[in-house]
């Protein structure tokens, strides 16, 4: 842009950054460009290298379940069927609530990490089932030990379900980061076995894109809970009478794929007591049946938490790696441009010194009208 | 030669930054004092 300046008759000074006939200044400018291009090249390599390092090296080491995590979830079955131990008959109740708590044991994870050689999370979990009056129907404690990033089970002393030592295969409670559209192996705490949980498609849950998984456990004989809801009745006394507990469930999870966190869970759950002296003649009675769904306020809270965590994971897997790559390419282009300019001979240097140089006029601001 | 040196410096800085960040990692925190719940909480 030109601007008008009153003519004074003196030789105007060329503004900075314009070509000049002064060889010393021209050499200095060329040197500056060369240094700038080298600095830009270093920065270009820095950001370009950061891109894959961030995605493939830092992400698996930084994206982890914190060992101190504490989380509770409430699920409800409305209505539900429960056994009345007084009459040994099933009755319908308005509501059964399942309170599920996961609590990270930091000291135990530190101890196991020393031998496992990787970051480990130890979750003490409790599934507490409460009847409509709030009294305990059953409670199953678990200790679940897994790799903090990959979610792979880690086998160590203390791994258990309701006091029984187990050796888990597959996942439980949570999917790995960057969940894939495929079947996973899911551990079932009631049967103490693992079975495939099938990917059934992509859905939208409260504005989040989620993967829907489903697992059906067929009728299977399972151990009685160690803690029974009626005083005087123990699993041993029931087993002595020859009565067995059977269970089937259809388990459904809506999993946010970036974090691998389930944002919704449901179960169509049925338990029966069969045969023995309690139910003579091969009889059976429903101990618990209901369609268990996550309570709305907990679903809202989990969606909010997962949404914020999702941004952090995307920062490491997508936003920063792509941003660094684009920035690196731009800096490289700028560096090459400056390098090319520093090597280009000045126009004035190729002309005879006596001839008026147009380059020398470039910096002259406009004279008066 | 200068270009190679600059590129090597950039690469070394990137490696140093990533190794430092991953070595520091996140603090493991402490076990929550809250109990495993045996009552139904009113809200999350």
Of B2, B15, B44, the CB nearest to A301: B44
Task: Encode pLDDT of A129-188 as tens digits.
Answer: 999 999 999 999 999 999 999 999 999 999 999 999 999 999 999 999 999 999 999 999
Report pLDDT for A9.
41
Under the banding of pLDDT at 50, 70 and 90, the label for residue A34 is: confident
A239 & A282 share domain: yes
For A245-293, what is each residue's pLDDT tens digit? 999 999 999 999 999 999 999 999 999 999 888 777 778 999 999 999 9
Q: Per the structure block, which two tokens stand in for A68?
A: 């101190």
pLDDT, position A233: 85
Residue A312 pLDDT class (50, 70, 90 cuts) = very high
pLDDT value of residue A96: 97
Rounded to two decimals, what is the model's pTM? 0.85
User: So what's the pLDDT on residue A24?
Assistant: 86
As given in the structure block, the two tokens for residue A186 are: 């899911």
pLDDT digit string (tens) for B8-35?
Answer: 999 999 999 999 999 998 888 999 999 9
pLDDT band at A14 (very low <50, low <70, confident <90, very high): very low
B11 with A97: Cβ contact below 8 A? no
**The pLDDT of residue A318 is above 60:** yes
Q: For B6, which residue in chain A has the nearest alpha carbon?
A: A42
The percent helix, strand, coil of chain B (3-state, each to 5) is 50, 0, 50
Are residues A194 and A281 part of one domain? yes
Mean pLDDT of all residues belonging to chain A: 89
Whether A96 is covered by a domain: the verdict is yes
The answer to whether position A320 is within a domain reads: yes
Contacts of A157 (CB under 8 A, 6+ apart): none
| Euclidean distance between the first and the last CA atom of chain B, given in angstroms as a whole number | 62
Give the mean pLDDT of A310-320. 97
- A11 in a structural domain: no
Partners of residue A67 in chain B, C-beta under 8 Å: 28-29
Measured between beta carbons, which residues in chain A are less than 8 angstroms from residue B24?
A: none
Helices (H) and strands (E) in chain B, counts: 1, 0
Non-local CB neighbours of A120 within 8 Å, separated by 6+ positions: A67, A109, A112, A113, A145, A146, A147, A148, A154, A156
- Give the dihedral of Cα atoms A258, A259, A263, A264; nearest 10 deg: 80
Task: Determine whether the interchain pair A68/B25 forms a contact, defined as Cβ–Cβ distance below 8 Å.
Answer: no
The whole-number pLDDT of residue A346 equals 58
Same-domain check for residues A123 and A73? yes
Predicted confidence at residue A344, as pLDDT, reads 76
Domain that holds residue A75: 63-294
Residues A169 and A217 placed together within one structural domain of the fold = yes
The reply to whether A10 falls in a domain is no
Residues 5-44 of B with CB under 8 A from A: 6-7, 9-11, 13-15, 17-18, 21-22, 25-26, 28-32, 34-41, 43-44
Q: Strand pairing of A193-205 and A136-147?
A: unpaired
pLDDT at A153: 97
Question: Are A82 and A137 members of one domain?
Answer: yes
Is A342 a member of any domain? yes
Complex ipTM, two decimals? 0.94
- Quick one: pLDDT at residue B19? 97
> Distance between CA A345 and CA A59 in Å, rounded?
47
Task: For residues A46 and A69, state if they share a domain.
Answer: no
In which element (H, E) is residue A256 found?
Answer: strand A244-256
Tell me: the pLDDT tens digits for A51-64? 999 999 999 999 99
B10 vs A298: CB contact, 8 Å cut-off? Answer: no
Distance from CA of A230 to the nearest CA of B (A): 16
Same-domain check for residues A38 and A88 = no
- Name chain B contacts of A103, Cβ cutoff 8 Å: 31-32, 34, 36
| A368 part of a folded domain | no
Comparing A18 with A117, the larger pLDDT belongs to A117
Is A39 within a domain?
Answer: yes
Are A82 and A288 in contact by the 8 Å Cβ rule? The answer is yes
Kindly write down the DSSP assignment for every residue of A133-173, as one continuous string: TS-EEEEEEEEEEEETTT--B---TT-EETTEE----SB-S
The pLDDT value recorded for residue A347 is 52
Count of domains in chain A?
2
Summarize pLDDT for A193-211 with one digit per residue, the tens: 999 999 999 999 999 999 9
Mean of pLDDT values over A60-89: 95
Distance from CA of A115 to the nearest CA of B (A): 17
Query: By the 8 A CB rule, do A328 and A44 touch?
Result: yes
> Residue A232: pLDDT above 90?
no
**Same-domain check for residues A57 and A111:** no
Same domain assignment for residues A43 and A162 = no
Do A165 and A271 have their domain in common?
A: yes
Cα diameter, chain B: 71
pLDDT tier, A361 (very low <50, low <70, confident <90, very high otherwise): very low
pLDDT the model gives residue A278: 78
Q: Are residues A99 and A160 in the same domain?
A: yes
Asked whether residue A25 falls in the same domain as residue A90, the answer is: no
> Is A13 among the domain residues?
no
């Amino acid at each position: 842009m030109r601007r008008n300046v009153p003519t004074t008759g003196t030789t105007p000074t060329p503004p900075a950054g314009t070509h000049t006939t002064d060889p010393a200044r021209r050499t200095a400018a060329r040197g500056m460009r060369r240094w700038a291009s080298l600095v830009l090249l270093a920065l270009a390599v820095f950001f370009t290298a950061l891109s894959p390092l961030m995605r493939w090296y830092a992400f698996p080491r930084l994206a982890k379940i914190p060992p101190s995590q504490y989380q509770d979830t409430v699920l409800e079955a409305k209505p539900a069927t429960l056994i009345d131990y007084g009459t040994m008959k099933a009755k319908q109740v308005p509501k059964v609530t399942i309170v599920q708590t996961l609590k990270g044991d930091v000291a135990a994870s530190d101890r196991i990490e020393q031998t496992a050689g990787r970051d480990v999370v130890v979750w003490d979990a409790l599934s507490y089932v409460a009847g409509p009056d709030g009294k305990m129907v059953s409670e199953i404690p678990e200790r679940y030990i897994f790799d903090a990033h990959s979610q792979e089970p880690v086998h160590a002393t203390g791994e258990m379900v309701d006091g029984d030592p187990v050796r888990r295969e597959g996942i439980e409670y949570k999917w790995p980061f960057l969940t894939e559209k495929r079947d996973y192996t899911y551990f079932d705490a009631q049967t103490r076995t693992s079975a495939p949980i099938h990917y059934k498609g992509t859905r939208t849950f409260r504005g989040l894109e989620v993967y829907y998984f489903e697992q059906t456990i067929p009728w299977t004989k399972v151990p009685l809970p160690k803690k029974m809801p009626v005083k005087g009745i123990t699993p041993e006394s029931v087993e002595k009478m020859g009565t067995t507990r059977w269970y089937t469930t259809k388990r459904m999870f809506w999993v946010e794929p970036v974090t691998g966190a389930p944002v919704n869970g449901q179960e169509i759950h049925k338990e029966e007591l069969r045969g023995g002296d309690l139910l003579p003649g091969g009889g059976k009675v429903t101990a618990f049946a209901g369609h268990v769904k996550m309570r709305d306020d907990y679903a809202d809270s989990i969606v909010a938490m997962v949404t914020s965590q999702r941004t952090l994971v995307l920062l490491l897997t997508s936003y920063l790696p792509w941003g660094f790559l684009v920035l690196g390419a731009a800096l490289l282009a700028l560096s090459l441009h400056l390098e090319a300019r520093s090597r280009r001979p000045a126009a004035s240097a190729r002309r005879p010194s006596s001839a008026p140089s147009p380059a020398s006029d470039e910096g002259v601001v406009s004279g008066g009208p | 030669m200068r270009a190679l040196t600059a590129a090597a410096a950039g690469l070394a800085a990137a490696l140093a930054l990533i190794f430092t960040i991953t070595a520091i990692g996140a603090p493991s925190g402490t076990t929550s004092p809250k109990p495993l719940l045996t009552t139904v909480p009113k809200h999350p």
